[in-house]
Amino acid sequence: MFLFPALTLGFLFVGVPLLVHLINMLRHRRQQWAAMDFLLASYRKQKKWIILRQLLLWLTRTAVAALLIAMLCGWVSGGRLLGALGGRTTHHLVVLDDSYSMADTSSGGQTYQRALAALRSLTERLAASEGQHQLTVLRSSRADLVTRGQTSAGDAAADLSVQTIMGDSRLIDRVMATSPSPMSVDLVSGLRLAGELIGKTPADETVLYLVSDFRSRDWQTPERAAEVLEGLSADGVELRCIDTATSPASNLGVTKLEPMADVWVAGVPVVIQTTIKNYGASPVTNVNVAARVIRYGSAAKTADPTRQFSGVVEPLPGVVIERLEPGQEAVRQFQVFITDPGTHAIQVSLPDDALATDNSRSCTLPLSDAQRVLIVDRDPEGLGAYHVASVLNPGSQVETGAIPDVRSTSFLRSATLDDLRPYRAIYIIDPEEITQNSAAALAEYVDEGGGLAWFLGASAQPQKLNEALLAEGRNLLPGALASTIEQSPVENAGSDVVMAGSHPLTEPLEPLGDAAFGRVGLVETWNLDSDDPRLSLLNPVREVLNRRDGLPFVRQHQVGRGRVVTVLAGLDGNWTNWRGDPTFVVFLLRANAFLWSGAAVESSRAVDDAIRLTLSDGRYARTVQVLTAANEPPRIAVEMQAEKSDAGWELVLDPQEAVIAGNADVESMLVPGVTELWVSRIDGQAEVRPLASAVQPGEGDLRRVDQPTLLRDLQPTTIQFFSTEEVLEQSSGGGGATTTLVLLALLGTLLASEQALAYWASYHPPRGGGAS
Amino acid sequence: MPDSKRFLRPEATQRIRRLELTARRVVEGFLSGMHRSPYFGQSVEFLQHRQYATGDEIRHIDWKVYARQDRLVIKQYEEETNLRLHLMVDRSASMDYGVGERNKFEYAASLSACLAYLALRQQDATGLFTFDTDMRASVPAKSNRYQLGRILTALDEVGTGERTDLPRVAKQVTQAIPRRGVVTIVSDLLGVDNLLEGLRVMRARGHDVALLHVLHDDELDFDFDGATRFEGLETPDFLNCNPRALREGYLEAMNHFLEQTRRACGRLMIDYVQVRTSEPLDAVLAKFLTARKSLPNLRG
């Protein structure tokens, strides 16, 4: 109703004319009069007219006062009234980009706050305009979450859905209280959802506003957005873009943080690798990367919402990046040594810059006790197993985290999946054949994430092995075993074994090159038939090591969640002396870590991914206390009840579902950092499951799209571009011009009427004349 | 009857003195501009001779008798011996409007003082009646040298605030006047009931009636501004109003009243002179005497 409701107190002044009239009545000048007869005669004759004139004059003066106050208060209903008399309904739909690049503070304030200011200005201007205006506001993060769920619940995603603009500023208060999300989303989802909402909302006119920072990264492939915009334009929707960003300042971002694939065992140092990217346009020097570890395990007995983490925070030695060129990434590694088993968390952070959201990243590090590995050696002497075991468990207080368990082939022959599950990896050395049952068990084991390594020597029977290991889509070999092929020694030919390319298994040896294998002899290996029809690998086989002649020596492939490493030579020493070479130790340790990490859980999740927790109902209670990540304490602890499922108790925290359900706590789910899930064991002991949430990298690239290029790319769709300043200026300048004119005209008419009535009521000085 | 104690009050004495001085100043000034003394009467028929007395007009000496008989005698005309001026001054509450010399009663008193002075100067017997609801003061017409003082003393204060019954007052006055004379009424005629009847009573006795209608400028112009509460001087009536809103109607009523009065006087052959209290007294005298001279000599 009024743009400045606080000034409506001025309507009390409408009573001033009446007050003045009453005061004047009390302040009549007394005059003794002789010719009362004539005066009374005149009064009696004109009494009715006098009262009428007085009344009209008072009413006119009151109306003038009321109108003046209404104009000062920014009365806007007139426009709506004018609109309601035959006006048009306009639906304004705002797609508000709240991806985390909108947290950019290059201009001093957040780009998102500039967007909100533009939204408020737009709303105020529409409130003062003629006609009926309806407003819908849709944030891109919510649109993306809803769209992912493949539901068209546009109303659920919208913060405001087809609300009539009344001039009440509280309409958009809820939106004004939002902040940029930590999600990395483009605007296509929002545009699609906007299109759906527009289709469901009848209006005489529709205007779509795209309020965004228009980063070049989001518009590199504008075809999808162009398609949606073209469709909207064809439906008669007016398209306007409000660019809220300014020239970007420099920004560094942590794009990756994860423990290196290795054995993650308590008491064994783990290497953490982090990647820092310079998104800015100029090089940076001496960048301090701070790191810290948050120890849980025995260090965190109970949830403590008063602190940012319930675990013990310990700083780690910082890492310095001497120089980082624009657009380049720097990878740094640091070691973490924790003796306490359990899931711990690692966090790195950069100094503050234009975009704080990507300056910090977390990951978890699940450390287990030493894990058993199964070594099955056909050789009754166990020479091959000995070499493998001695690498994995060298003794002398050197811990690799592996506890070798050497068994004979008979064990494998009767092994079931449950027998294999306790082992973190399985090494099968020089098998002759594998039974179908064993192969089935192995296939399941690998598919669940277990690691399997083959050392195929002379004893291997290719046909039987192929039948067992490739049947029924088990894909436990990288190819069908064909025949063995000798490799003749060639003088001065270099090493018999060469690296096939970059692979985690040979990464430490890459700086040395093939010369590292200079003392490895290889005279014969199995060859593989990659075209065997029984093979149905979903992922390509990776070459790790080749023979000098290019034939395969070591191959690696993925089966389900697990990994398989195949060495096409045995460890009996007949075909190769590799077992005694130092490179074998490096290879085997890397292979062990590689095989173990197949079953490793993700060390972090994207902030918008669902959190799923499955608990054994025989060991845990169903109540879970959730402390979501927070930038600073205190944190809010929420008790949730896990649902019964086939696997036991299952708890799902899905931001998608929360948005659709209209859950107000969606934002708290999306905070990057360490979320703690506290579960209770049946014995009453509390146990924490930390989860690291991280933002998707890339939003830190703050480079702006070239508008002319964008407009060209979006052709033939006609789009108007506005800056935030232009929107703000439009709001302060006008709005409701017609209403103001009408009010002014009405005021002028009333003032003229007041003067005329005052003259009629003889309040104006006389023009002379008297009795004669 | 004049209150003898009031004679002793300093303000009364001062007032009387002031009236006398005003009358003297106005009349002497008025006369100094004239070649002949004004006559109240209209007749110029020779009546008789009388012995010349010091102070008589030289021009009235009959020089033929002096030539024949060597004695100074004055020609006397009919009007000189028969002129009696009776002043009727309205002292009702309605006359107490205005401030200072513009106060209607003060003005009427000054005007009456001037008329009395003029008449007594010409040895015309002059008397005074004051009235409001009733006849109040009565000073029989005489022409001796104490008469002015008596007249001025009788013009003391404004009276009560009720309406005047003019026929009754007129009857009282005419009963008090044994012989025909000139009756000059000085009044605002406001709050006067049966005005026409009253005037007719005066004329019925054969008196030569003149009416000096004294009104304040405010009453004639009604030039008031701002919210005003008008309170009647003679009645308990009051009115809160914006005077400008009522001005036109008031003036219309006032003009109608004046016109009616003028016509009534014309029908009754009464000299009517409307006087504003802002008018100089000498101008009023001139206007009055001129009006008297211009009227035809029809009396009775």
Residue-wise pLDDT for A503-539, tens only, equals 999 989 999 999 999 999 998 999 999 999 999 988 8
Which of A29, A45, A766 lies closest to B247 in CB terms? A766
Asked if B230 and A31 come within 8 Å (Cβ–Cβ), the reply is yes
A762–B contact, CB cutoff 8 A: yes
Give the span between the Cα atoms of A674 and A694, in whole angstroms: 9
B160–A contact, CB cutoff 8 A: no
The answer to whether residue A648 scores a pLDDT higher than 60 is: yes
Residue-wise pLDDT for A363-388, tens only, equals 999 998 888 999 999 998 889 999 99
Residue A330's pLDDT band, with cuts at 50, 70 and 90, is very high
Give the span between the Cα atoms of A746 and A750, in whole angstroms: 6
Which of A24, A53, A771 lies closest to B227 in CB terms? A24
Asked if B233 and A763 come within 8 Å (Cβ–Cβ), the reply is no
Q: Which residue of A has its CA nearest to B230?
A: A31
pLDDT of the residue at A80: 47
Q: Which of residues 150-179 of A touch B (CB under 8 A)?
A: none
Q: Report the percent of chain A where pLDDT is more than 70.
A: 93
Q: Are B273 and B108 in contact (CB under 8 A)?
A: no
Give the span between the Cα atoms of A640 and A649, in whole angstroms: 12
Task: Please give the single-letter amino acid code of residue B225.
Answer: D
The two three-digit tokens of residue A527, written as one number: 């060859």
pLDDT of the residue at A311: 93
Q: Are A582 and A517 in contact (CB under 8 A)?
A: no
**Phi, psi (deg, nearest 5) at residue A424:** -80, -30
Which of B94, B242, B257 lies closest to A761 in CB terms? B242
3-state secondary structure of A27: coil
Q: Are B57 and B137 in contact (CB under 8 A)?
A: no
Mean pLDDT of the region A592-615: 87
Q: Are A362 and A674 in contact (CB under 8 A)?
A: yes
The two three-digit tokens of residue B99, written as one number: 């401030």
Give the span between the Cα atoms of A123 and A742, in whole angstroms: 22
Residue A170's pLDDT band, with cuts at 50, 70 and 90, is confident
Of residues B21 and A609, more confidently modeled: A609
A38–B contact, CB cutoff 8 A: yes
pLDDT of the residue at A627: 93
DSSP letters spanning A390-416:
HHH--BTTB--SEEEEEE-HHHHHH--
pLDDT of the residue at A679: 93
B219–A contact, CB cutoff 8 A: yes
pLDDT of the residue at A82: 47
Distance from CA of A76 to the nearest CA of B (A): 39
Q: Are B103 and B157 in contact (CB under 8 A)?
A: no
Give the span between the Cα atoms of A431 and B237, in whole angstroms: 136
Query: What residues in B contact A764, CB-CB < 8 Å?
Result: 244
Decide the pairing of beta strands A238-243 and A719-723.
parallel
Helix A462-470 × helix A436-447 angle, to 10°: 50
3-state secondary structure of A56: helix
SS3 per-residue string spanning A571-622: CCCCCECHHHCHHHHHHHHHHHHHHHCCCCCCCCEECCCCEEEEECCCCEEE
pLDDT of the residue at A688: 93
Element (H, E) at A368: none
The two three-digit tokens of residue A174, written as one number: 């809820």
3-state secondary structure of A97: coil
Asked if A32 and B219 come within 8 Å (Cβ–Cβ), the reply is no
pLDDT of the residue at B7: 39
B240–A contact, CB cutoff 8 A: yes
Distance from CA of A30 to the nearest CA of B (A): 5
DSSP state of A267: T
Which of A32, A53, A762 lies closest to B233 in CB terms? A32
A387 Cβ contact partners less than 8 Å away, ≥ 6 residues apart: A571, A579, A580, A584
Which residues in chain B show pLDDT less than 50? Answer: 1-8, 35, 41-43, 79-81, 295-300
A37–B contact, CB cutoff 8 A: yes
Q: Which residue of A has its CA nearest to B244?
A: A762
Distance from CA of B186 to the nearest CA of A (A): 16
Give the span between the Cα atoms of A35 and B94, in whole angstroms: 8
Q: What is the ipTM of this complex?
A: 0.78
pLDDT of the residue at A658: 82
Burial A561-600 (b: 16+ CB within 10 A, else e): ebbbbbbbbbbbeebbebbebebbbbbbbbbbbbbbbbbb
If one counts every other C-beta atom within 10 angstroms of the C-beta of residue B229, the result is 15
- Which CA distances in Å does A592 have to A391, A451, A462, A501, A505? 10, 8, 25, 19, 9
Distance from CA of B53 to the nearest CA of A (A): 47
The answer to whether residue A768 scores a pLDDT higher than 50 is: yes
Of residues A4 and B60, more confidently modeled: B60
B221–A contact, CB cutoff 8 A: yes
**Phi, psi (deg, nearest 5) at residue A680:** -115, 130
Give the span between the Cα atoms of B99 and B216, in whole angstroms: 10
Q: Are B196 and B90 in contact (CB under 8 A)?
A: no
Asked if B220 and A27 come within 8 Å (Cβ–Cβ), the reply is no
Cis peptide before A5 (omega within 30 of 0): no
Of residues B95 and A70, more confidently modeled: B95
Q: Which of residues 241-270 of B touch A (CB under 8 A)?
A: 241-242, 244-255, 257-258
pLDDT, chain A, mean: 88
DSSP letters spanning B50-110:
EE--TTS-GGGB-HHHHHHHS--EEEEEHHHHH-EEEEEEE-SGGG--SSGGGSHHHHHHH
The residue count of chain A comes to 772
Instruction: Give the pTM.
Output: 0.60
DSSP letters spanning chain B:
---HHHHHSHHHHHHHHHHHHHHHHHHHHHHHT-SS---S-----EEEEEE--TTS-GGGB-HHHHHHHS--EEEEEHHHHH-EEEEEEE-SGGG--SSGGGSHHHHHHHHHHHHHHHHHHTT-EEEEEEESSSEEEEEEEE-STTHHHHHHHH------SS-EEHHHHHHHHHHH--S--EEEEEE--TTEESHHHHHHHHHHTT-EEEEEEEE-HHHHH----SSEEEEESSSS-EEEE-HHHHHHHHHHHHHHHHHHHHHHHHHTT-EEEEEETTS-HHHHHHHHHHHHHHS-S---
Give the span between the Cα atoms of B94 and B105, in whole angstroms: 9
pLDDT of the residue at B159: 66
- CA proximity to A140, closest of A176, A183, A104: A183
Mean pLDDT of the region A86-95: 84
Which of B233, B239, B245 lies closest to A34 in CB terms? B233
pLDDT of the residue at B80: 46
